[in-house]
Amino acid sequence: MASSVGAVPPDLETSPVVRASAALARQLGADAARLESEGVDRFVVDRMSAAGLLAVHGPPELGGAPAAQQRRVGELLSGASPDAWFVWFQHGPVVKMLKGSENADLAAKHLPELCAGREVGGVAWSHLRTPKPSVLATRVDRGWSLSGFQPWCTGWGLIDVVLVGALVEDTDEVVFGLVPATERPAMRSAGELTLAAMGGTSTHALRFDDLRLPDSDVVLRAPRTPWAAADRDANGNVQPSTYGVALAALDLLEERAPAHAAVLRPRVLELRKQAYRLLDDVAPEERVGERLAVRACSLLLGIEVCTALLAARGGQGMDLADPAQRLLRAAAFQLVHSQAGHVRAATLDALVA
C-alpha cells in the first residue's frame, strides 16, 4: 500500500505528536464504525489527550505544536475516525482564542486545563457567520446577558466548557465568553441533530435564555466587521481534514484498484501542496480567490476519490459501517464544514466549470 504521507517532510512524520497521532489513528480507524453509530465517548477524548493532541493549538510551553504538525494531526484523525476528529477539531478554537486573549487571568485559569485535557472545550458561535446572528448580548451589571438560538454545538455532554459568541444588541460588536457546558434553564439543548455524517459527535442545537456572562469570563470583544473579515479569509483555506479523508480513501483504493489510485493520488498531493503553501507563505488576506479555487477543487476531488473507492468496493460499500460509505459521507460533510457564502459560491462555480 502506498503511504498517505506523500510529500510530507520526513521530519514532520517523526515529530512526537505526529507519531502519537498516527498510533492513535490506527486504533481509532479500527473502531470508527462503532464510534459513528454509538458516539464518541469521553474515553476516546481522554486517549487523544494522553497523546498530547488536545494541546497542539496551545502555546509551546503547554504542548503546542507548529502549524504543519497541527495540520498533520488533523489529517490523521479525520482519515481514521471522522467523528473523533470533529470532537477534537472543535476543541481547537477554544484553545486558540484563549491563547490570543487579552484576558490573561482567564487564559491562565483555563489554558493549562484545556491543553492537559482536564477540560474539553467546544464552540457555539456559528450563527455569527449568518447575515442575521441569532444570539444577542445585552449589557448588564459587570457582564452580559445572552439570549437566542445557536444551531450547532458539537460534543454536548462530552465537553466541559463552551466558547459562546453573540452579537452585542444594537451595535456592530461581537462578544465571546467561556461558560460551563452544563444543561440549565439559561443554556439548554434544543435537541440533538440528526446528521448524515458525523452522527457520533453529539451535536446539538442550543437555546440561551438570559445566560449571564461575567466580564471576567469574556475571551474577546471586538467590532464585528473586522472579525468577520478575518474569519472569512480563514475559511477560504482548505481544512486539512479534506485531505485526511481523501488520503485515507486512497490508501483503501490502492488495495482494490491500484492503477486508479495511482492517477488520483498525485492530484490530491498537488492540491495539498498548493493549499499549505498559501497558508505558510502568503499573508492571510492575500490571494483569496486562489485559496477559494484550491479549496473548491480539493473538496470536489475528495468526493471523487471517495466515490472511486465506493465503486471499487461494490455492493458492500452500501453498508453503513463500510469504510467507503463512511468516508464518502465524511467527504460530503467537508462541503459544508466551516463554510460561508464565498466558499459555497466557489464550490458551485467549480462544479459547473
Cell matching residue 58: 496551545
Alpha carbons within 13 angstroms on the beta-carbon side of residue 247 total 26
CA atoms of 172 and 250, how far apart (whole Å): 46
How many angstroms separate the CA atoms of 235 and 149, rounded? 23
Q: How far is CA 164 from CA 139, 180, 206, 264, in A?
A: 15, 10, 10, 40
287 Rama sector, left if φ>0, alpha if ψ -120 to 50, beta otherwise: left
In the predicted model, residues of the chain with pLDDT beneath 70 are: 1-10
pLDDT number for residue 5: 47
In three state form, how does the secondary structure of the chain look? CCCCCCCCCHHHHCCHHHHHHHHHHHHHHHCHHHHHHHCCCHHHHHHHHHCCHHHCCCCHHHCCCCHHHHHHHHHHHHHHCHHHHHHHHHHHHHHHHHHCCCCHHHHHHHHHHHHHCCCCEEEECHHHHCCCCCEEEEEECCEEEEEEEEEEECCCCCCCEEEEEEEECCCCEEEEEEEECCCECCEEEEEECCCCCCCCCCCEEEEEEEEEEEHHHEEEEEEHHHHHHHHHHHHCCCCHHHHHHHHHHHHHHHHHCHHHHHHHHHHHHHHHHHHHHHHHHCCCCCCHHHHHHHHHHHHHHHHHHHHHHHHHHHHHHHCCCCHHHHHHHHHHHHCCCCCCHHHHHHHHHHHHC
pLDDT in tens, 124-149: 999 999 999 999 999 999 999 999 99
Instruction: Tell me how far apart the alpha carbons of residues 63 and 328 are, in angstroms, rounded to a whole number.
Output: 33
> What is the CA angle 176-182-132, rounded to 5?
40
Which CATH class for the 10-116 domain? Answer: mainly alpha
Report the predicted TM-score, pTM, of the whole model to 2 decimal places.
Answer: 0.94
What contacts 288, CB < 8 A, 6 or more positions away? 233, 236
Cα–Cα–Cα angle for 213, 183, 194, nearest 5°? 115
| All cell numbers assigned to 63 | 504542548
The span from the CA of 297 to the CA of 291, in Å, is 10
Superfamily of domain 121-223 in the CATH hierarchy = Butyryl-CoA Dehydrogenase, subunit A, domain 2 (2.40.110.10)
**What are the tens digits of pLDDT across the range 189-203?**
999 999 999 999 999
Using one digit for the tens of pLDDT, what is the confidence trace for 3-29? Answer: 444 455 667 889 999 999 999 999 999
> Which region holds residue 215: left if phi is over 0, alpha if psi is between -120 and 50, else beta?
alpha
Q: With contact defined as beta carbons under 8 Å apart, do 276 and 219 qualify?
A: no
Domain-wise residue ranges, the chain: 10-116, 121-223, 236-352
For the domain made up of 236-352, give the CATH fold. Butyryl-CoA Dehydrogenase, subunit A; domain 3 (1.20.140)
Nearest to 117 by CA among 56, 69, 199, 200: 56
At residue 272, what is the residue type?
Answer: R
